[in-house]
Copies of this chain bind each other. A is one copy, B any other.
Amino acid sequence: MSEKRPTITTVAKLANVSVASASRALNGIKTTPDVYERVTEAAERVGYVPNAAASSLRSRRTGQIAFAMPDVANPIYTAMVASIQEVVRAGGMRLVLHSTGADLDEELAIVRDLHRRFADGLILVSLRLNEDHVSELARSPVPVVVIGRALRGSGVDTVQTDSRHGAAEAVKHLHAAGRRRIALVNGPLETVPGARRHEGYTEGLRATGLALDESLLETAEDFMVEPGREATARLLQRETPDAILCTNDLLATGALSALHDAGLTVPGGVAVVGMDNSPLCEVVYPRLTSIDLGAARRARAAAELLMKRIEQPSRRPRTVDVPPALVVRETCGATA
């Protein structure tokens, strides 16, 4: 009844070859056709499946790729997961997921945990990691690809986008559409995206000759819908802008809701631009104009960089840059 799980020894015996030959045949290493035939047949017959732990222990490869992101519930990271999953599967590997809650300690903990060697590489989306943590990354026993700001000297591959430039472009677009009182609803400023997008906003104002008005700035507790709604509500209590740049689509979604509650029309009264160009844009009402930061492309690039790096650990680190692009939809046209 409860026959023991077959091991490679079982297969080797049945095929009348050594375990070494069995292993070779099963791993596609050159053998005589005869041996190959007998081994595969034997394996088939007993339903042999190699043990992952044993094979990892010996080969030092786990067949797993780890992906650590700030928040599983954010559609932009979900989109990344989908892209990465494709590449990973095509390479015959598994995807291990980690959610860091955008917490710096968590981000670092995962990098340290790589010493357990549970994965052959890591793709890390980091909101808070900065130059101080380069040493931790450099110490990693397996390749790491960072999606975020390039960390000089860390020796890791990086995929980035110029979200600062993206934010500036958004402001310019709003200005070109006739908007003059452009508010900013941002996420936490101590995050890298928060800081850079703020810079981009002020840069955009400068470029268009608009003055920076502190009362048009609002910061949400987190890059999410509800905080976006609250931040926008606070903003509307003291000011009525004619446009709002939200530093991601979730914030923008919250903003749309707050504007609606306040009886303001979009884009007639207030124009809104988000960032990320996530699937959400097509689904909210009105459809959201957004700065595409190439999430899917970045994720795919990161996964591909990682796969190549795993094959060839010595190759010099590269940085891939995905340029932002404005995608115009309904929430921003000319002033009504």
Q: Residues of A with Cβ closer than 8 Å to B? A: 5, 47, 49-54, 56-57, 62-64, 72-73, 75, 78-79, 81-82, 85, 94-99, 112-113, 115-118, 141, 225, 253, 257, 279-280, 282-286
Contact = CB atoms under 8 A, between A and B. Distances in A.
How many copies of the polypeptide does the oligomer hold?
2
Contact of A96 (B51, B75, B95, B282): B95
A115 B73 contact: no
Contacts of A5: 115, 141
B82 A99 contact: yes
A50 B114 CA distance: 10
Contact of A99 (B50, B53, B85, B112): B85
24 contacts: A5-B141, A52-B117, A52-B118, A53-B54, A53-B118, A54-B57, A64-B96, A64-B118, A72-B78, A72-B81, A73-B78, A85-B99, A94-B96, A94-B98, A95-B98, A96-B96, A97-B97, A225-B282, A225-B283, A253-B283, A257-B282, A280-B283, A283-B284, A285-B285
A253 B96 CA distance: 30
A225 B54 CA distance: 44
Contact of A56 (B53, B94, B95, B97): B53
